[in-house]
């Protein structure tokens, strides 16, 4: 119930400025409604402990609303002042209907997009537009706050991650919050007195800082201490979140609000805003380019993504689907160490092998065009082989024949073992422990595909078999390295740490292919 008190107290704290409170209603209601989803780790099957900033989706929805709504409200006030509230109610109903319908067809869209969440913000806007005369029903003035608190509390027991959300289920916490906000008179009602209790008001003052900090802390604690007991993680989360929120409020939020609210500091506020945009966007692009090396279909069509252009020992191309992209960062390191120019043409979810004659194969056509143009010394090809080959193993033979007409050597990397579904940090937190055994059927299919890949090894085709790297010696799959770092990103993709274990085997395959190739000795 901690989140309920946070939200309720923050509402009372800002209730004297109802227009402002109405603008924050959706974030409050959405936080209550989605608390179980966050705590139970279901944000549309995204691993919560790997998404520390996932909660910022609600801020993005709010900011989009703030950009659009003032203009809409101004037009309504100038042209339709007498029917302004009615128009807002119509917009509210349209958004709510879209939310309910889309939840059953595209749940992620309904959850994250403004048109399907605007009704929650519009609910607060409608309340702000009502006059005291329209809400002065004395019998309801006493009951509504208590009804609202009851509906908010009921949300915790009614909503669950197994239900489609938001849809009509989100009406419950939104209606509860609206009931708390609605009365303009009789400020001494019981609900008001409960929420005006000093400790709750203090929590309300900290609510925004708590909101910003709680999810990153929860995610990182679960990520780092996934083998620890639930009570240890819970205690650590509460302590760290509280400390971070209090520090943020006292050192940043409170003095920042005081400084930026001064009229003579508006210019400084805008400069700080623009500077933060420039810095954060630049950092985001840098982090993405440094830590996620992959290509898009458009990149491949224009020649791929290039790294280490000053390499003096020839060139290398990384090609394949997402099982190749997971080696992207590691391959960039290999290129630097060996003095090779690297071009990445691997595409997540792509089909990088040729199809039967007469069947279009866009990624293959663009990929082989890059290889023919660059004539690289090496092509490193990695795929989800059992999926790409299917019942047509000849596709890989055909690909090698065409690649070797332009490239000197091709290095094939086999698939790693498939982790079972319970082999995850979340699974370990739920009590599962190694050894993690690969599903027998998946194991048989993968071994068959890897065996076929190995059978293609010849003079200018080298196969790097990574099976032994991820064998824990007990018939199971290695989940972490010697330092406790996870080797898998998900069930069939390696993490950066896992990919680095393949690095020495790949370097050996490259450097022993042709000793006469190197103009400059490899580092």
| C-alpha–C-alpha distance, residues 37 and 35, integer Å | 5
Residue 411 has pLDDT above 80, yes or no: yes
For residue 418, report the phi and psi dihedrals to the nearest 5 degrees. -90, 125
Closest CA to 455 of 504, 404, 385, 512: 385
Dihedral sign for Cα atoms in the order 417, 421, 424, 427: negative
Kindly state whether residues 296 and 201 are assigned to the same domain: no
Determine the pLDDT at residue 238. Answer: 94
CATH number at residue 437: 3.40.50.1110
Of the pLDDT bands very low, low, confident and very high (cuts 50, 70, 90), residue 134 is low
The gap from C-alpha 54 to its chain's centroid, in whole angstroms, comes to 6
Number of compact structural domains in the chain: 2
Determine the pLDDT at residue 14. Answer: 33
Kindly state whether residues 37 and 132 are assigned to the same domain: yes
More confident residue, 189 or 72: 72
Of the pLDDT bands very low, low, confident and very high (cuts 50, 70, 90), residue 4 is very low
**Of 160, 177, 205, which residue is a domain's last?**
205
Determine the pLDDT at residue 9. Answer: 32
Residue 231 lies in a domain: no
Of the pLDDT bands very low, low, confident and very high (cuts 50, 70, 90), residue 130 is confident
Lowest average pLDDT, out of 35-39, 297-301, 398-402, 445-449, goes to 35-39
Residue 182 has pLDDT above 80, yes or no: no
Determine the pLDDT at residue 307. Answer: 92
Sheet with 461-464, strands from edge to edge, namely: 305-307, 341-344, 315-320, 378-382, 409-413, 461-464
Highest mean pLDDT range out of 31-35, 232-236, 267-271? 232-236
Determine the pLDDT at residue 187. Answer: 61
Residue 260 lies in a domain: no
Kindly state whether residues 326 and 462 are assigned to the same domain: yes
Of the pLDDT bands very low, low, confident and very high (cuts 50, 70, 90), residue 19 is very low
Q: What is the DSSP string of 411-436?
A: EEEPPPPPPPTT-SHHHHHTT--SPB
Percent of the chain at pLDDT > 70 equals 85
Residue 194 lies in a domain: yes
Q: How far is CA 339 from CA 180, 510, 519, 520, in A?
A: 66, 12, 9, 8
**Of 186, 205, 224, which residue is a domain's last?**
205
Q: What is the per-residue pLDDT across 44-61, written as a single tens digit (0 to 9) for each?
A: 445 667 778 888 888 888
Of the pLDDT bands very low, low, confident and very high (cuts 50, 70, 90), residue 188 is low
Closest CA to 123 of 174, 189, 194: 174
Strand 315-320 relative to strand 341-344, pairing: parallel
Determine the pLDDT at residue 164. Answer: 80
Kindly state whether residues 376 and 485 are assigned to the same domain: yes
Determine the pLDDT at residue 32. Answer: 36
- Could you tell me if 434 and 454 are in contact, meaning their C-beta atoms sit under 8 angstroms apart? no
Structure tokens at 339: 């003095």
**Of 159, 174, 205, which residue is a domain's last?**
205
Q: Which residue shows structure tokens 């205690």?
A: 235
Q: Which residue shows structure tokens 């128009």?
A: 87
Lowest average pLDDT, out of 114-118, 458-462, 482-486, goes to 482-486
DSSP H or E segment with residue 379: strand 378-382
Closest CA to 222 of 207, 212, 234, 208: 234
More confident residue, 29 or 476: 476
Residue 523 lies in a domain: no
Determine the pLDDT at residue 317. Answer: 96
Determine the pLDDT at residue 40. Answer: 34
Domain holding 324, by residue range, is 292-517
Residue 266 lies in a domain: no
Q: What is the per-residue pLDDT across 260-313, written as a single tens digit (0 to 9) for each?
A: 788 888 888 888 888 988 998 888 788 776 667 888 999 999 999 999 999 888
Residue 240 lies in a domain: no
Residue 454 has pLDDT above 80, yes or no: yes
Kindly state whether residues 315 and 175 are assigned to the same domain: no
| C-alpha–C-alpha distance, residues 37 and 34, integer Å | 5
- Could you tell me if 118 and 139 are in contact, meaning their C-beta atoms sit under 8 angstroms apart? no
pTM of the predicted model as reported, rounded to 2 decimal places: 0.71
Residue 478 lies in a domain: yes
Q: What is the DSSP string of 29-42?
A: HHHHHHHHHHHTT-
Kindly state whether residues 36 and 157 are assigned to the same domain: yes
Residue 109 lies in a domain: yes
Average pLDDT over residues 129-135: 62
* Non-local CB neighbours of 279 within 8 Å, separated by 6+ positions: none
Q: What is the per-residue pLDDT across 72-123, written as a single tens digit (0 to 9) for each?
A: 888 888 887 778 888 899 999 999 999 999 998 888 888 888 999 999 999 9
Determine the pLDDT at residue 28. Answer: 37
Kindly state whether residues 296 and 414 are assigned to the same domain: yes
Kindly state whether residues 173 and 319 are assigned to the same domain: no
Closest CA to 417 of 322, 325, 488: 488
Determine the pLDDT at residue 167. Answer: 87
């Amino acid at each position: 119930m901690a989140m309920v008190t946070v939200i309720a107290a923050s509402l009372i704290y800002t209730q004297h400025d109802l227009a402002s409170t109405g603008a924050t209603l959706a974030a409050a209601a959405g936080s209550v409604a989605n608390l179980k989803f966050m705590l139970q780790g279901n944000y549309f099957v995204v691993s919560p402990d790997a998404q520390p900033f996932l909660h910022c989706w609600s801020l993005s929805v709010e900011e989009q609303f703030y950009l659009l709504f003032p203009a809409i409200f101004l037009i309504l006030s100038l042209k339709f002042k007498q029917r302004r509230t009615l128009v807002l109610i119509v917009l509210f109903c349209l958004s709510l209907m879209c939310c309910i319908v889309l939840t059953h067809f595209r749940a992620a869209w309904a959850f994250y997009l403004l048109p399907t969440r605007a009704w929650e913000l519009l609910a607060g806007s409608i309340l702000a537009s009502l006059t005291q005369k329209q809400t002065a029903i004395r019998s309801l003035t006493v009951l509504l706050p208590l009804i609202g608190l009851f509906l908010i509390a009921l949300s915790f027991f009614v909503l669950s991650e197994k239900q489609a959300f938001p849809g009509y289920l989100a009406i419950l916490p939104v209606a509860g919050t609206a009931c708390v906000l609605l009365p303009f008179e009789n400020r001494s009602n019981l609900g008001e007195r409960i929420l005006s209790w000093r400790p709750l008001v203090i929590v309300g003052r900290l609510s925004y800082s708590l909101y910003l900090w709680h999810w990153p802390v929860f995610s990182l604690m679960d990520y780092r201490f996934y083998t620890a007991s639930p009570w240890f993680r819970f205690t650590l989360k509460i302590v760290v979140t509280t400390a971070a929120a209090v520090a943020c409020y006292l050192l940043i939020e409170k003095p920042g609000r005081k400084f930026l609210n001064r009229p003579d500091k508006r210019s400084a506020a805008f400069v700080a805003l623009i500077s933060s945009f420039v810095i954060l966007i630049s950092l985001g692009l840098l982090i993405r380019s440094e830590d996620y090396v992959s290509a898009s279909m458009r990149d491949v069509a224009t020649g791929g993504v290039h790294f280490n252009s000053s390499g003096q020992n020839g060139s290398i191309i990384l090609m394949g689907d997402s099982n190749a992209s997971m080696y992207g960062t590691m391959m960039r390191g290999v290129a630097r160490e060996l003095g090779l120019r690297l071009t990445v043409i691997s595409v997540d979810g792509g089909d990088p092998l040729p199809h039967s004659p007469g069947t279009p194969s866009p990624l293959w056509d663009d990929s082989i065009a890059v290889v023919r143009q660059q004539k690289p010394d090496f092509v490193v090809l990695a795929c989800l082989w059992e999926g790409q080959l299917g019942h047509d193993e000849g596709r890989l033979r055909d690909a090698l024949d065409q690649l070797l007409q332009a490239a000197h050597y091709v290095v094939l990397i086999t698939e790693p073992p498939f982790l079972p579904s319970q082999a995850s940090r979340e699974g370990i937190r739920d009590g599962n422990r190694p050894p993690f055994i690969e599903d027998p059927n998946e194991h048989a299919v993968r071994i068959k595909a890897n065996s076929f890949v190995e059978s293609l090894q010849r003079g200018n085709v080298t196969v790097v078999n990574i099976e032994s790297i991820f064998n824990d010696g007990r018939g199971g799959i290695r989940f972490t390295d010697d330092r406790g770092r996870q080797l898998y990103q998900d069930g069939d993709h390696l993490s950066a740490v896992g990919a680095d274990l393949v690095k020495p085997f790949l370097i050996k395959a490259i450097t022993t292919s042709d000793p006469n190739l190197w103009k400059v000795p490899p580092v």
